[in-house]
Structure 1
Amino acid sequence: MSLICIILIMYSLHKFLHALFALFMPCFMPYALFILKQRFPLKDDLMKWVRDISMANNFVLVTTKSDSGAKGRKEYVILGCEKHGAYIPYREPDLVEGTSTQKTGCPFRLKGRRTKDDKGWWLKVMDGRHIHLAAESLVGHNYAGRLNSEAKEDVINQAKTWVPPRKMLASLKEKDPSNLTTIQQIYGVCKRFRQSVRGSLTEIQYLLKKLDGEKYVHFERNEPGSEVIRDIFWAHPNAVKLFNTFPYVVIMDCTYKTSKYKLPLLEIVGLTSTDKTYSIAFYYIGSETTEDYIWALECMKSLISDQSRLPRVIVTDRDLALLSAASQSLPTTTHLLCLWHINKCVLAKCKEYVGTDDFAQEVMDKWAELVDAPTVPEFEAHWIELFNMCKHKHKLKFATYCSTTWLVHKQKFAKAWTNHVMHFGTTTSNRAEGAHASLKLMLRNSKGDPATSWDASHSLTTNRHTEIVASFERSMNKIDHLFKTPFYTNIRGFVSIKCLKLIDAELTRMRACGGRCDCLLRETHGLPCGCQLADYERIPYEAIHPFWKSLSWEHVPVADTGSSDICGLNHGEMHPEVEALTRYFHSLDTGGQSMVRRKLQAIYCPERSTLCTPELRIKSNRTPKLKESKQPKGRAIGSLTRDPSAFELTDKKIKKEKKSIAALMGHSAGQDGWP
């Protein structure tokens, strides 16, 4: 009996001790985990073993003190818990919102030191107590999620190709499911990589260095009397070749929220014979004035080697400063306005002045007939009908808006005039809008600088050029079965696939309309129209406009191949310019010579440029005044989302009014007993 009691008591004591050990194990890591007589050949081996043991028990150890062993001292390293020490505030009172600390004064210490014979390392437990519970998970702990050298190199390689950080993290998790890295650590690696690339260079110095390194054509202007940069214009070397090959149509449009300096970014794009969009140049514009736009257009014109081949058509939105600049800088170029934006603005004003009933729909149908009228007399007849419709219904505000805002520019968008312009199917600025969207997709936020925008535009431009070359090769080497007939023998493989498809669409239209031809394809695209195609057994090569026959950008035409003088400038030797500069330099005093030296250094050594960025336009936390715009709800700081256009604001206002009226009518119906 006594033996059974002893056994029961011992069993109960064992259970009690086991429960007690399990209870206090997270707080007091036993010395036995780190007490061993094993030697480690290297310090890294010792530290890896210690950290693996601690992380297996959900604790994180960091280096608190170390000595490299210089001047005859013994080399050692002390490892402590990440919660060691106490936080000492550097300001009083330390009540800054969003700040925190993980310091709890944990006494846990381990010491690694070289052996007496200097042939290895041994470990000593200085204090094995943890005064806090073990973490439930190590996700979010800085050291636990630290990237190793291989993963860090992988992240950096992806950052160079503009892979979003969230995709980098997903890639790491897929390779190693036990990875504890967080998105903030990915951001940190990317930020440190960008800082290491730039080094001590300023934003402008880094940008100028990259532009020169990649052989970009670029121009800069600074504020008068200061070194603050005002405008910067850059163009990829292959984009210059493309522009000289396809200079016929240019689309220009500004986008916003691309940098922390809140400068508008003017993107100039063109189109190729294969219906691909390419960016001619980018231009950070100081202010959207006529003078700034003229400077941009003059920079664009300087990219053309043959000034007799300036753009024939330019497409923009209704920016009065840009309209004025284009008429001065490109007087012989046809200026078109974006038809899509015009129709949207007219629709918004129709909803505001006319309403949203059936009559408003009739007004918009009449506006569509007005814009699509093929001849000037028909255009004028439709305008009289539209004016009379609005006059009879007392909607003259809408008619006045159309007349004073848009019809003064009727030659720039109405088909009675644009159908006689060779615009190759480009009557809207949608290509530029699409280019803006692609650029902002790579930028991801508007808190970068112009150098960041250049990095994104460079990667985007390079990818587009690859697509354009591939489209050229497809047009020359691939034969669509639809075009294997003898009718296309003379042009097949010598013109773009887009050209062949347009001709086939014209033949289909001719068969559908009974042979009636409006010669539209010939006048707007430079291709044989239906009446011409009916006379051909085989389409002659000469009947195709040179635009469609250009399937390479390597050949850049010049005005006179036997002369080095282009656009009034000598592009060969520079002896006259050097001699003139030398004479000017010697005529200056010491201060003037120093200024010339700095300007020359900025040309051949851009990393020594003295240009600086403009001041940041920082938003304060004060309450905005009545007329100031407020930050939209749900819009993150640094968002790339554009501000709504006027027609979008009108649509939003009308929807809100309709919703209010519907709610009011429903409330009244409930009171009156109506269903």
Structure 2
Amino acid sequence: MIDVLDAFLSLSTKFFENREDLLSDIRKIGLLQGYVMVIKISKINRYVAIGCDRGGCYRTYSALEEKKKNSASRLIDCPFKILGRRTAEGLWKVKISNLLHNHEPSTDMAGHPYCRLFTKEEALQVEQMSLAGIKPRQILSSLRQSNPDLLALSKNIYSKTAQFRRESLGGCSIIQALLDELGGAGFSHNVKYEDSGHLTHLFFAHPTSIELTRSYSNVFVMDCTYKTNKYKMPLLEIIGVSSFNTSFYSCFVFMQKEEQQDYQWALEMFSKLLGDGNHPLAIGQFKEDADWVGFMSSWSTLVKSWDVSMFNEAWNSFQIEYKDYASVLTYIGNTWLPWKERFVFAWTRPTSHFGNNVTSRAEGAHGTLKKYLQVSTGGLREVKENICLAIQNQFQEIKTQLASEKIRVPQKLCIPFFKEVINKVYFYALFELQKQYLLANTRDYSSQCKGQFSKTMGLPCVHMIKDMRIEVLPLNQIHEQWRIDTRSFTNDHCARLDHEDPFSSLLSEVKEKYEKQPLMQKENTLRQLSHILGASCPLIFEPTLQPHKGRPVGSNKRKETSSTRQEPSYFERVEKAPRKCSGCGNIGHYRNKCPSINKSTALGT
């Protein structure tokens, strides 16, 4: 092995084209000897000072500045030092200052932070995989498969991703960077903030979600989920239903609280997203008793322009009839249902909900979203990025399934009755129609038609099929929700949304009018436009931390716990409760430990 002194001395006779080559050769020689060389002082295009990573002294703190944690340092004031200077010809030359170390070489280089750094290629892979939502430990495992000698740890992945997030801010605040991204990527978004400037509400909808929402605008389910962000803000998810009877994310709303005004603001934003004249046929929402009533009050107040008079009448009459509605039960379908489910059952019978009269679809959407979020302590910007991943994958699945069902034919439906609807109606609706068709050929159905199936599903029921007496089902009997021939999702959906934006037509009118104006009016128009463009945006700060739901922190009545174990059932409590002894009638001991019974046994009685 070449002696370390001779190796460094040989560098002093060489010239390097740039600083990076000089650093690379010095570090290679140091690593071969068990030492790590790092930059101590540097000035661009002039000189660089290179020393051992154990050089320097640890900064001592006074009693007032003492850190809370017990700290340790690898710095022992190693005197090793090499200088690199740039010559007048533009080349770099090494100058030896001190080649001595005051410590033994390392046998395992994993303890040196420099050896755990990523190369440029590895850093690029970390950035790409983190943007794809891959967990840091999985990223590290993937890197080690391609480089078994990698010394990096999971915390290096976390540090690198945090560095990427800081660099992506571009000097802006987190909230301002988030709003710039939402506006630049074609999101429909809006914010609400306090007088102090702290964000309280954030509404946003992805461009692909906007297209799906306007295409499938009949049925929506909404519900709040929690533990999604470090501010502890509830996240309201509005879930749409596609023609495949699958869910898609329509929009999201971060809210400060769950009160009537919060829901009202969220529903106002959702109404603007749908557009004029595009109103849903059914919306489902599940809340606790008090919040549910507040939500419905907010909803009926907001959408008076929509046809909700039937709902208001039904809700008011239900409250008058059952004042103590919390104790009302009804027996439907061999199941005892509480008052809320009874009302839902009665209300949804004449409503076109297409089979969606429960909110379990929202619970499934919550679970899917949590898999993308991975943690519950991310900021709003990180949550938005993970939501985008979920939406993009969801949109691709719907798009692929749409293209697939346009070219596939179910073998069970190869009969003349379905001739006109094959490849024009989704499979889910076709199979529901098949059930009605098979019933029409039997006598196993009620003779009286209540119209419930056709009203709620938008499909001909068994009685309509029997009465039509036709051999081929016409396409106009199928609701638009199930039609496949009227939809087409392509990659230019953002361009189509921009084309539908009224601002584009207004801008054309301004340009046309400007060209016809005289010079004085043109100057006035330009002055007004410049004033609009120069208007400053309000400074918005991060949201304040919301309090926990439930008992306040520090309450003596119940210990704080993070367990997910459910509360014991009533029969479990009964089994654990102490019982009376049959011997003495006391509570607190078992029969075999009862002194009365043991005394009788000892006497032989």
TM-score past 0.5 threshold? yes
- The within-5 A match list for 1:592-631 is 608-616=537-545, 624-627=554-557, 630-631=560-561
The range that moved more, 60-69 or 496-505, is 60-69
Q: Does 1:461 align with 2:391?
A: yes
- The within-5 A match list for 1:181-580 is 181-223=152-194, 225-307=195-277, 309-318=278-287, 319-330=292-303, 332-333=307-308, 370-372=331-333, 406-407=338-339, 410-412=342-344, 414=345, 417-507=347-437, 514-515=444-445, 521-534=453-466, 535-550=469-484, 551-552=486-487, 573=506
**Correspondence for 2:23 among 47, 50, 54:** 47
| Contact 2:399–2:489 (Cα < 8 Å) also in 1 | no
Once the 2 structures are TM-superposed, how far is the Cα of residue 322 of structure 1 from its aligned partner? 1.1
The secondary structure found in structure 2 opposite 1:370 is strand
Once the 2 structures are TM-superposed, how far is the Cα of residue 515 of structure 1 from its aligned partner? 4.9
Q: Distance between the aligned counterparts of 1:215 and 1:39, measured in 2?
A: 56
| Contact 1:246–1:547 (Cα < 8 Å) also in 2 | yes
Once the 2 structures are TM-superposed, how far is the Cα of residue 495 of structure 1 from its aligned partner? 0.8
Amino acid in the other structure paired with 2:456: T
**Change over 3 Å in CA distance of 1:231–1:124 after alignment to 2:** same
The range that moved more, 199-208 or 166-175, is 199-208
Q: Distance between the aligned counterparts of 2:224 and 2:151, measured in 1?
A: 43
| Contact 2:243–2:483 (Cα < 8 Å) also in 1 | yes
The secondary structure found in structure 2 opposite 1:250 is strand
The secondary structure found in structure 2 opposite 1:448 is coil
Q: Which residue of 2 aligns with 1:102?
A: 73
Residues 139-197 of structure 1, C-alpha deviations (whole Å, 9 max, x = no match):
35321010111111121122222222222111111111111111111111111111111
The secondary structure found in structure 2 opposite 1:143 is helix
**Change over 3 Å in CA distance of 1:295–1:417 after alignment to 2:** closer
Percentage identity across aligned positions? 22
Q: Which residue of 1 aligns with 2:39?
A: 63
Residues 234-263 of structure 1, C-alpha deviations (whole Å, 9 max, x = no match):
222332332232222111101122222221
Q: Which residue of 1 aligns with 2:143?
A: 172
Q: CA RMSD in A?
A: 4.3
Q: Distance between the aligned counterparts of 2:546 and 2:340, measured in 1?
A: 37
The secondary structure found in structure 2 opposite 1:649 is coil
Q: Which residue of 2 aligns with 1:134?
A: 106
Structure 1: stretches of 5+ with no match in the other structure: 1-24, 337-352, 354-365, 374-381, 387-401, 556-565, 578-595, 634-642
Structure 2: stretches of 5+ with no match in the other structure: 313-326, 491-500, 511-527, 582-586, 599-605
The range that moved more, 256-265 or 441-450, is 441-450
**Change over 3 Å in CA distance of 1:228–1:107 after alignment to 2:** closer
Residues 88-116 of structure 1, C-alpha deviations (whole Å, 9 max, x = no match):
13442665344423234152514143598
The secondary structure found in structure 2 opposite 1:162 is coil
**What TM-score results when the alignment is normalised by the length of structure 2?**
0.76
**Change over 3 Å in CA distance of 1:317–1:85 after alignment to 2:** same
Q: Distance between the aligned counterparts of 1:335 and 1:55, measured in 2?
A: 77
| Contact 1:140–1:182 (Cα < 8 Å) also in 2 | no
Q: Distance between the aligned counterparts of 2:253 and 2:171, measured in 1?
A: 25
| Contact 2:34–2:105 (Cα < 8 Å) also in 1 | no
Once the 2 structures are TM-superposed, how far is the Cα of residue 421 of structure 1 from its aligned partner? 2.7
Q: Which residue of 2 aligns with 1:83?
A: 54
Q: Distance between the aligned counterparts of 1:570 and 1:201, measured in 2?
A: 27
Residues 588-634 of structure 1, C-alpha deviations (whole Å, 9 max, x = no match):
xxxxxxxx9999669x87xx442223333599xx981225762426x
Amino acid in the other structure paired with 1:59: Y
The secondary structure found in structure 2 opposite 1:121 is strand
Q: Which residue of 2 aligns with 1:356?
A: none
Residues 288-308 of structure 1, C-alpha deviations (whole Å, 9 max, x = no match):
11122122212211223342x
Q: Distance between the aligned counterparts of 1:114 and 1:291, measured in 2?
A: 67
Amino acid in the other structure paired with 2:406: M
**Change over 3 Å in CA distance of 1:140–1:500 after alignment to 2:** farther
Residues 508-557 of structure 1, C-alpha deviations (whole Å, 9 max, x = no match):
667798355776532321112233345442222122111111552679xx
Residues 23-63 of structure 1, C-alpha deviations (whole Å, 9 max, x = no match):
xx9xxx96456454663534433432332343345433322
Q: Distance between the aligned counterparts of 2:332 and 2:230, measured in 1?
A: 41
Q: Distance between the aligned counterparts of 1:209 and 1:67, measured in 2?
A: 35
Once the 2 structures are TM-superposed, how far is the Cα of residue 502 of structure 1 from its aligned partner? 1.9
Q: Does 1:668 align with 2:602?
A: no
Amino acid in the other structure paired with 2:295: L
Q: Which residue of 2 aligns with 1:392?
A: none
Q: Distance between the aligned counterparts of 2:547 and 2:478, measured in 1?
A: 55
Q: Distance between the aligned counterparts of 1:570 and 1:212, measured in 2?
A: 14
**Change over 3 Å in CA distance of 1:472–1:125 after alignment to 2:** same
| Structure 1: 4+ residue segments shifted above 6 A | 115-118, 509-513, 574-577, 596-599, 664-667
**Change over 3 Å in CA distance of 1:265–1:408 after alignment to 2:** closer
Q: Distance between the aligned counterparts of 2:264 and 2:553, measured in 1?
A: 38
**Change over 3 Å in CA distance of 1:315–1:116 after alignment to 2:** closer
| Contact 2:458–2:478 (Cα < 8 Å) also in 1 | yes
The range that moved more, 82-91 or 539-548, is 82-91
Q: Distance between the aligned counterparts of 2:532 and 2:97, measured in 1?
A: 64
Amino acid in the other structure paired with 1:283: V
Q: Distance between the aligned counterparts of 1:547 and 1:226, measured in 2?
A: 45
**What TM-score results when the alignment is normalised by the length of structure 1?**
0.68
Count of residue pairs brought into register by the alignment: 533
| Contact 1:245–1:553 (Cα < 8 Å) also in 2 | no
Q: Distance between the aligned counterparts of 1:276 and 1:160, measured in 2?
A: 26
**Change over 3 Å in CA distance of 1:618–1:94 after alignment to 2:** farther
Q: Distance between the aligned counterparts of 2:54 and 2:112, measured in 1?
A: 11
